[in-house]
Amino acid sequence: MHDEFLCHVTAYGVCGGRRIGVPLGTYRAPTLALALWWLRDRASWMAERLDPRPDAEHFPPSALVPVADNVPDVPAVLRAWCGDVSRQELVADELAAGRMVRIAVSDETTEYELLAESVDALRMQRTLPILVVPVA
């Protein structure tokens, strides 16, 4: 069983023709349960910021308008992922097995990534001998 997990949330976009990543948060979870909780919490946090309640008091009336039906609904995908117990179990199984998990969702301008990996698996990778392949 892997005991600690590194969790990251990043948004990627294009600026000046280059793909740029903007870190939105990092957490070193001491347990699998806390890693899953943090990923769900960050997914909900992003969804709320991308799709706030229109009646929120800090927005002037009519400041928010619905997007077209053909625009990818990132907040809805993130909320659905948070509420899907079978997907949560799949993520837990992958992390417990020492595999990295990446959840990514995109709209027209930005890719949002939730990433988690076992600290133990990272340590084990560092101890493996490096494969050297001659060129030519």
**pLDDT computed for residue 131 by the predictor:** 53
| 93-114 residue pLDDT tens | 999 988 899 999 999 899 999 9
Euclidean distance between CA atoms 122 and 131, whole angstroms:
17
CA distances for 23 relative to 29, 30, 62, 92, angstroms: 17, 21, 31, 23
| Number of alpha carbons in the 13 Å side-chain half-sphere of residue 62 | 0
**pLDDT computed for residue 123 by the predictor:** 59
The least confident of 9-13, 62-66, 71-75, 101-105 is 62-66
Q: DSSP code of 31?
A: S
The least confident of 8-12, 44-48, 55-59, 114-118 is 55-59
SS3 label, residue 24: strand
**pLDDT computed for residue 136 by the predictor:** 47
Which residue, chain included where needed, has tokens 């892997």?
2
Report long-range pairs for 34-41 (Cβ below 8 Å, ≥24 apart).
Answer: 34/5, 35/5, 35/7, 35/95, 35/116, 36/88, 36/91, 36/92, 36/95, 38/7, 39/7, 39/91, 39/103, 39/114, 39/116, 40/82, 40/88
Residue 11, pLDDT above cutoff 50: yes
pLDDT above 70 as % of the chain = 85
Binning pLDDT at 50, 70 and 90, where does residue 116 land? Answer: very high
Binning pLDDT at 50, 70 and 90, where does residue 58 land? Answer: confident
